[in-house]
Amino acid sequence: MKNSPFIIRKGTAQDVPAAMQLIRELAEYEKAPNEVTATEASMTEDGFGKNPIFEMWVAESEDRIVGLALTYLRYSTWKGKMLYLEDIVVTEALRGNKIGRALFLEVCKKVQQDQLNGLIWQVLDWNEPGLRFYRKFNATLDPEWINGKLLPSDIEMILKNESI
């Protein structure tokens, strides 16, 4: 399938099952398959329900979804409205065909069209293909900031023991 033609288009609720498959593929690649707790139902509601909180673009080749980019608005106290790129995923068999590049450029167009103050994302420090991808765009990859995270079970413990 090398050099297979593809199109980039806005994702729809009907694309969610294929998107979830790509997300599971990404989780496998990142050695965290059990970390995916989103479901097709939650993703459909969260992206295409009454109050959508994300947008996605898909890459389609030969009538199947082979890539996706998922974004949402983020507000920076220093910069204002910015677009957060949660993930770009291209199925492993088609990596190297500029599908990721096309998805990334579509996201960049969104930033420009909506007059946002920038685009931000994360990439794992061991993901050399991802780091090389973003470096091609002269992106700033900032080692200074450390990501924080609390899961529901952590929050429950904190709230039970407010003396922390």
Output the CATH code of domain 7-160: 3.40.630.30
Distance between CA atoms of residues 124 and 114, nearest Å: 28
Which listed residue (29, 72, 84, 134) is catalytic?
134
What pTM does this model have?
Answer: 0.89
Distance between CA atoms of residues 48 and 54, nearest Å: 8
Q: What is the pLDDT of residues 101-138, one digit of tens each?
A: 999 999 999 999 999 999 999 998 888 989 999 999 99
Coil, helix or strand at residue 82: strand
Active site residue 134: yes
Q: What is the pLDDT of residues 51-69, one digit of tens each?
A: 999 999 999 999 999 999 9
- Name, in order, each residue with C-beta under 8 angstroms of 81's C-beta and a sequence gap of 6 or more: 73, 74, 75, 114, 116, 117
pLDDT tier, 144 (very low <50, low <70, confident <90, very high otherwise) = confident
Residue 73 has pLDDT above 50, yes or no: yes
**Residue range 10-19: mean pLDDT, rounded:** 98
What mean pLDDT value characterizes the chain? 93
Distance between CA atoms of residues 136 and 159, nearest Å: 44
Q: Residue 89 pairs with which residues in a beta bridge?
A: 68
Domain residue extents for the chain: 7-160
